[in-house]
Structures are given as structure tokens and as C-alpha cells.
Chain A
Amino acid sequence: MIWDFEWTFQVLPDLMRGLAVTVQATLLGYLIALVLGLVLAMVRRIPVLGAIVHGAMEFVRTTPLLVQLVFVFALAPSTVSALTVGIVVLGVHYSAYTAEVYRSGIEGVAKGQWEAARALSLPASRTWGAVVLPQAIRKVIPALGNYLIAMFKDTPLLLAITVVELLATARQVGSAGFRIVEAYTVVGFLFLLVSVPSAIIIRRLERRYAAV
């Protein structure tokens, strides 16, 4: 078994295209997770509705993303593309995690801040928007960053619902060229190429913003 460099460089553009799909799905899914997670964290403070939302989040968090993907994909109307389904499921799944992160940040805001907002009779929108969230979110930025990396590493699961991302591309070109070892090994390296630098950036962020 000899490593075929020529072939490796030949398929690299294809793999890079796959990587672009992976990155696209990650970023869009992350956007959903960031926004929906914040909404869920705020809804969880409402008495009855909060408990229901918490239960649902718990269910989403303790069941495999892969099964959720295949499930939703099977139910989705055929007009919706597989990539869209993947992005939405990825985003919703991770919003169950980011909601917990936001919650810990919100609970970390000193009680006096809430009381001060109440004493100044600020409306709820200003209490959240100008007092609580700016302090809460600042503290959880590194933790949120960790989930970006986690999500990036979960996107290969999209191949189960026919999205041609990095791993699926490798499977295609690898079996077409009978060069499975090269294809999957390059995928491993591409993953490291993205996730190791991002891990370093997050460690920097952690040092800059005090973690909760």
C-alpha cells in the first residue's frame, strides 16, 4: 500500500468543495443555535411554559442527532432540500445546549442588577437588552465558542440524509478511485486543520473574557 500523492492532489479541489458545504452548514446552523438558544433560555424563566420547554430540551439533548436528522428528513416535504433540513435540525439540536449556556450566564448576573433595573422602573425590554444580556453574554462567549467546534464536528452526520459534505465527498471520490485510505485520511487532516486553530482561538477568548 503506497500513498498516492498525485491522486490526493487531484481530488483535493473536490474535497475542498465538500469542506465548503460543511462550513456553510456549521455557520448557518450555529446562527440558529445562537438565536433560538437565547430565546429558549429566556422562555425557561416563565413558570409553566418554562418547565415544558425544559422537558423538551432535555429530550432533544439526550437523543442522538443522527436519529433526529433521519427522522425529520423523512417527514419533511420533498420541496425542502436536504441541506436545509440538516441546517435546521443541527441548529435546533444545539440550541438545547446553548440555551443552558445562556442560562448559566443569566443566572450569573448579580441580583442587584435586576433590583436596580426594577428600581429605575425600566421596561422589560431595557432590563434584558441594556442590563442583563450584555453582562450575561460576555461571560459565556468562550462556552458558546466550544459549541461551534462541536457542531463543526457533527456536520458529517448530514451525509446520512444525502447532503454531499466533506465526508460524503470523500466516500464518493474514494470509492471511485479505489483510494479509500487517502480519501478518509485527508478528511481527518482537514478536520484537524479547521478545529485545532479554532480551539486555539477559543482558548484566547477564554483568557480574555472570564469564564463562568
Chain B
Amino acid sequence: MVLHIAKRELYDHLNSLRFAFTVVLFLALMIANAIGHFGEYNIRLTEYRKKVATSLDTMKGHTDSLFSLMLNGPGQLYKKPSALTFCADGGERFLPEYVEARNYGWMRSWQAPGEKPVTIQNIWHLTYPQSNPNLWDITPDYTNISWVAIISLVLPFIAILFTFDAIAGEREQGTLRLTLSNSVPRDLVLVGKFLGAFLSIGIPFVIAVLINLFLLYTAGGVPLGANEWGRLGLILLVALIYLSIFIALGLLVSSRAKRSSVSLTILLLIWVVWVVLTPSTLGSLVSGLQPTKTIEELDSYRWQQRKNLNAQYPLGKGDGPTRAIPATEMTLLWAEYVKKEAQLKEQLHQEHLTDQISQINRARTITRISPASIVQYTIESLAGTGFSHHLSFLEAVHRYAPEFRQFLLDTDGADPKSPHAPYVPEGASESPVRFSEIPKFEDSNRVSTDLNAALMDILLLVLFFVVSFALAYLSFLRVDVL
């Protein structure tokens, strides 16, 4: 019986103007998306490899002595592009694509009367690019035609067009009364209508998606392995759950509204407010509540912290470090200072980064009251792009930095000719380092972490669906047919 109703609904839809529009729209958007991303992945990957190679070359140039490596650090650490950028662009053009792990050379030198000149140099630490890399882009602001845009904005709009008159329209024409007089249970009518709408939107959508993937795979240079197919399958699943939410919502409103025009008005306003405007308005509103430190505050805070540190050390006077073995007290003292100074600066940069990230995370948490945001975040996580990938990239950097430091210490410890007071040139090993032994940074896109990030959001979407479907169900059971 359910299948019968669903079939009838489906055939009804297939003949309609909106179905033709839906097919054309999905195809146009998905093909545009594919064409827009032709070759993009390869270009980005080549660029990424080139940058990594340059960075490694620079590092190789610092292997003549361990101290030189200690001074200059591993260089720039780059974020790897994802093959699935066409699914979710994730605002990547606004995100920095690297973290600096190198030296911002300053040095202090002084000379006590009758003594050798003393020079203290700082060593590498992590810093994060502060400005948006997109400052010169003069093209107008636009929503990237990625899967995210198609799914989060267009799919619910189509769902509304298919369901607003599903019940209200039949009531207006009197056919609802006719159907129900035929001893068809109401819940089956609802489920049938749901399935009919779901199939008549879902099928063209999936076909458009397959065409999109076919184009990208054959002509677009996007490699699709088991990993990517798994991710794509999950993205499709998320899209269909999201679609179901709006079909259920459409049925709910349609069963409550007296006339189909009223139903459409309400649904469109819900769509505009909940899907189009809420994510941005609420995001900006929440992020504005607790702004991060301004440049001035930050500068004076950092300056104060550095001053506190410097107060503990006899800067600008006294002896310098020497190459004596075992290391003299002065050598150890200066080595400690240089290390602490780098640590402090890195810590200050990280504090600011944490502030910035939590500002965004607060906004992201609140915007989850709109399923459009949830779907965006989920697809971004699954595609390995956007903010969530940026966070996992930063995590990888924060795992790598201590590993690199430990390598420096271990290598220094293994050199019998070193005074073992690293971080000052006099106290560290001077023997060359074998390039192959140095741990190298590589950003990875791990399915498990990405899935973990997406799981809660998927559950939240399911919850939205269950609630809206239950409401539609209850409402339809109690609806007056006349």
C-alpha cells in the first residue's frame, strides 16, 4: 500500500514543472561544479609538492651543523590539499595554508671592557600567519558552487517546492478526502507521500552526483580510491538525511496550513531564515560577543611577558657562553635563556591561536541550530577540507614540533664532542646532520579523525529528522480533512 501511494506520488511529480526544473538545476549545478574543478586538484597538489620541496631544500641547507638546524628549524610546514575540495571548498581561500617553524632572526651582542664580544641569537619557534591570504582578491563575494552549497541551500529549497502542497493542495482539491475515504490508514498516506517526494528529488540528485563524479574522475584528474569513495558515500548519506528533514518539515507545514499558498509562504520564510541567513548572522553575532585581543593589547601583553623573562637573565652584561666541556655555568644559563625565550614566544602565539579557534568554535556550536550549518560542517569534515581539516593540520604540526626538538636533543646527546648545552652555538654539536634522519613533516588526511569529527553532527541531523518526521506524523493524524 505504501509503495502504491509512493508510486502514485512519484508519477505525479515526474510530469510536473518542478521536476523538470529540479533535474535541470541539479545537472547544471553539478556539471558546473565539475567543470569548475577540472584539473584544480592536480594544480594544487603540484603547488603543494613544490612548496614542500623548497622548504625541505632550505632545511637541507641547514644540515651542515646540528646547531644550524637548531637555529633555523624545519622551515614552513604546509597543509596538504584534499582531493575532495569540489565537495566542500570550506572557505580554504581564507585559511592560511602553512605554519612557520623557522627563525625570525634577532640577535643581541655586547662587549664588556677587555672581554670578547658576546652574541646571543634566538632560535626557531612556531608562528601562525595572521592575515587572510585573500587580501587582493577583487572578484565579487560569492558562494562557491561546491557540493556543500548545492546540498545545504538548493536541496531544501527543492524539498519545499515538492512538499508545500502535498497535503494542503490535496485538501484544496478535495482529493485528500477521497483517498482517506478508501480506508487507507493516514500514516501510510504520509509515509507514501514522504517516499514519493524523497525519491523524486533523491533520484535526480544522485544521478547528477554520479555525472559530476564521472566527469571529475575521467576528465578532471581527481583520483577516486576506496578512501574517497567511502567519504563520498557518507557525504551522500548525509545529504539524503538532510533532504529528509526538509521533506518532513514540508509535510508538517503542509498538513497544518489551510491553503497551499500559505504553506509555501511559511516554508519559504523558514528556508530563508533557517537555512540562508541563520548560519551567517548567528555566527557573526556570537563571534562578536567575545572578540580576541586587539593588536595593541596583544603587543603590550607579549612585551610584558618578555620583559618578565628578560628580568631573570643578565642581558647585555657578563660573560658569554664558551665551548668548554663540560659546559660552564654561563653557557648553560644562556642556553636556558634562548630555549625559554623561544618557548615563551611560541606559547604566546599559541595562546592567541587558541583564542581565535575558540572564538570560531563558539560560533560553530551555536550555528548548529541550523541544519544547514551542520550539514556544511559534516561535509567539510568528511571531505577533509575547511576549518576542521585546518584544526587537524594544526594538531599534526603540534605533534611534529616536539618530535623535531627531541631529535635535535638526541642527536646532540649522541655527539661526544658537544658540551650538551644546546641552543647556543658554543654549547651545541657542530657535526653535520644526515638529512635522511631528520623527521619530516607531512600533513595527512586521516579518515578516522575526520569521521570522528563528523559523527556527532550526523547524529544531530538524524535527530532533526526524527523530530520533524514525528511532528509531521502527529500533525497529519490529527488534521481535519475539510
Partners in one complex: no
